[in-house]
Structure 1
Amino acid sequence: MSTPGSAKGRPQTRRFISGVVEGFYGRPWTMDQRTELFKREQKWGLNTYLYAPKDDYKHRMYWRDLYSAEEAEQLIALISAAKQHDVEFIYAISPGLDITFSNPKEAAALKRKLDQVKEFGCRSFSLLFDDIETEMCPADKQAFTSFAHAQVAITNAVYQHLGEPETFLFCPTDYCAVMCTPTVSQSYYLHTVGEQLLPGIDILWTGPKVVSNKISVESIEEVSSVLKRPPVIWDNIHANDYDPQRIFLGPYKDRPTELIPKLRGVLTNPNCEFYPNFVAIHTLATWCKSTSDGGQRDVEMGDEKQDPWYSPEKALTLALTDWLQEFLSADQNGARPKKDSSDEEPMQTDIGESPYVPGPGENPLYTAEPLTLDDLKLLSDLFYLPYEHGQMAKTMLRELDWLKNHSRAAAAETDETAEWCSRAQQFDGMCEAVVQMFNRLSNAPNRSILYDLYNYICDIKSGVGLARAYVKTLGGQCPPSAQLMNDDPEPWGFRGGLSGEFQRMLPCHGNRDLFRHPLMTEVYCMRPYSPEDKVQVQKIFMEMKSAGGGKMPLMMLPPLLCDSLSSGELAPSPQCALILEDEIGVCGYALALTDAQPAAAKTQRAVSAEVLKDFPSLVTIQVLPRVIDSTPAKRMIVRLLSSIKNSGSRGVFCELRQSDRRMLDFYTKLGCFKPITMAGLPEDVVAMGASL
């Protein structure tokens, strides 16, 4: 793909970076596991490995320390193994925890460390400044105009010191859209990085969020424009280091293949557990190969409704089919060996003892059934992706919800009784499938994979067992389960430990549970307002005005200063208008006037100079009722307030009708808006202000 600029006559066409970043928090992978990863990458057509384990002391916490002779020997062997399998080994270092950018000794220590790794045979490097404090020390504040300038200065110096390597990656502190203030396109930090970082240095980016549900072409085009180069995606879709109870075995998805020519590359930062990453890496490889001209694809993947080049479902089936063979292959960790059919006399510890044969009426010998592809599909469904359950998991949750809400039908003789019993039986069958999957998985020959999965499958088996017993109790098929109803249960009868106790005490607990709200799988797009949005904003305004007016006719409602903004009579101030969209369309807006005087004149309402001195700006926000999650609205108002503050305003105010309990509650819970006194307010109208 073409890249802007080249260093030292570098060719304009560079291969697409594709592979794995070991960048999670937790126990790093072993050297043997990394070598196995290189073999898989070569087999599947991936070409890169980024060494960045957060808990390798000398990568992050003690980055100044050189590697010992023993450590050097291991790294040399690892770099050599990567080369042997045609995998580009990128060594990353994270000095941002405590580096003083303006101290020449610090820069020298960083160069000395990377020079040592270069002596090991490494030719590709990365500087990471993620997950660090953004406040500079006094010495750096005197030397640099901003945090971005400090990072760019040392990165450019190290890059040139190393001879401007073919591959050199930089991870910014603001590495996703949600971290950018106020927006990606208006981020001073990103603009500084894009303009001043040398063009041969590539930049890592995680997408809209740290763990992005979807990554759109439009979002990549926006950040590429600011960074002056296409980014390398550091993809956390399969990362699980933030939640020890979750693992992700679903396919690489919700990244259209149209992204490929617009990116410098994609690296997946997957589960902490090595062996369960088979699906994550395998499906990424299928995605990367999907649009290659003349490249060999695994199967024809096209899904015309979603993506003409790639189908996550087909890619998942392909990966699980290959993974099944690994499960069925014995490893060195204690698998029961197959009987040797050779003529050699087997070694026996009990000479002359014949194999045990159960007698009449005794239990037959236990025979483990082999694991099946359907078992692995069920496993993937139960541990799918961060924002989405697999199809079977969603079905089980919905069925349990229905059975719980219609439990009276189980006891009463009604037309619904037969349906309840039928659905309860189907739910029991699904629970049994989970139990059988667990049994077959537990007896699979490859113990290394099993041991990485065991805690997770034990947990889901137990949870499904509790739900199964509960449904049987509702149907009167068995007495109440002691695990469910006992006042003094065993510790395995409940989940969460101290963390669960804290969460249950917080008001937000359970806001993503199926039984309190619908599954929160919506993805919202926040973008700047354009004149074409005027009609949709007016439509939302009228709908919410009707809902907030109670029984009073619309024409009888007292006018608000912000009505002229929402109705389109006044245009919002530049950079002070945002639109919220979901999969259906426009679902909310946030508009502001940095100077509220035009709105006061339009409404023919006198606003005291004292109020305008402290709160010169006017803001309004509305979202449709279908936006159940309050987070998108909160993010809109935060970005809007940031833009207003950048304009030089010292405060904002809003007007609300007392009958609009929804928006009153929203502004109150923000915490920064407080009731203010304004003379001449119509009856039933309140004013709230926030200092900036």
Structure 2
Amino acid sequence: RASLASSRSKPPDRSDCVSTFRANAAVAKLPVFPLNSSSPPSSPPLGKVEREAREGEKTRSHQQPGQQPPGSRSGAPTGGGRTQKLPGRGLCGGKGLLSEAQVRLLVGLHYLPHEHGPSAQKLLQDLTWLKTNCHMVGANSKKPQPQKVDEWRGRASRFLSLCEDIAQLHCSVVGGANRAVLYDLYPYVWDLRNTALVAKAFIYWLDGRVMSDSSGLGSWRNCFHWCGKATGADLSGVDSEPWAFKGGVSGEVQMLLPIGSSSELFTHPPPLFPTSRLYNIRPYHSKDKVELYRMVRQLHLRTQGGQESSMAHPDVIGDRCLGPCLALSPEYSFILEDELGVCGCVLGISDVRSFAKRCQASWIPAMRDKYPPKGTSTHTHTQDLIRLMEEDQGEYPDSLLYHFPSQLRLDALPELVDVSVSRTLLTALLTALKANGSQGVFCEVQPTDHQRLDFLTKLGFLEILRGEARSREGVVLGRLL
């Protein structure tokens, strides 16, 4: 006891403290994120951060109302001439300070280890209520009650507004003047931003698209029977460790989604190059068809070496790649957009068998009438694409469709800075398919597209068929939901 007391009363050696601090500092260095053209210092001193903040305030105070802040992106179109901007959204660029409301939101979302703040509680309560009462706005609701529908949509509007605030918070943290705050908070804010994007797209999709409880196999209640006392191991069907599920408000929002038990869809490291670009994921609307056709046409021309081979019929590429899904299955189509407009999309088919029958009955005849083979105006390459349209609707093996009845297609512009939003876009579609009773989904990828194969493999897709689904060479990847 005497030795213990003397050791407690003995003042620590300052040289030991300094050496220990230096050793820890040498091991735990802050990462360097090159945000713009030049890399910021890895750990700026406090005085320098204060000076940068004060200089930023002076610069903004001396700026004209119509002048752009330094470091912000100009309005020049990028990525193939995309000039459209998101309504009600401004460009997130430059260095600035977090507002008081954003600081309160940040603190409320990351409050205490075992206690949520006001904003996190509101987020979880609204999502739980909207999920439980989604039958009010179901696609097959027989007797919708206007008062309850308005109540659901009003609460959904509040939830969507909070998700937009989280996206703006991520944008402000990345573009803030205090770089040390970015280094510490970015992984958490980025993760919550992606989860909020999925939840926001899901709530958007529920209104008028989800099948209500009155349906049979694909009912909402059957899909969410696990939202009670089930554990992680019960949900995934395997021996899942506790660390496989994230903690905090992001993890709880994830578990409220239909595919919340699929940790591989949500657990990814943040990108090495943070970007303050503002993204949004929402269901497809008919007005998006022109932008989507233009996007896939640009992607096709790039793969063909920039040759304009379909000048006579510029829509033939979009009609082949996107047309059937947008015309016959628009309820499972999602759009990815940034400040400049549409930059990606994912299309889904809930039941491939019934979709193929409808396509052969209505879509293929319409395309034959739109692109007649006779006449000199029809290009030879156009006829090849029409022939591929018919081959695209070829039959898949029953053994494949038994376990994987749904199909998807993902397209995004190569200018996409944050690759994680592509995963988030795909997750939004899988959430919708699972909510309406799908048990599995597959997609076909060319064997030479190694980047897409690696992308899907990391999201839990496994190779099912190789060159056996159709006459063309293609790898069929699938995953259970």
TM-score range, shorter chain: 0.3 to 0.5
Instruction: Please identify the structure whose Cα radius of gyration is greater.
Output: 1
Greater fraction helix? 2
Larger RCO, structures 1/2 (Cα 8 Å, 6+ apart): 2
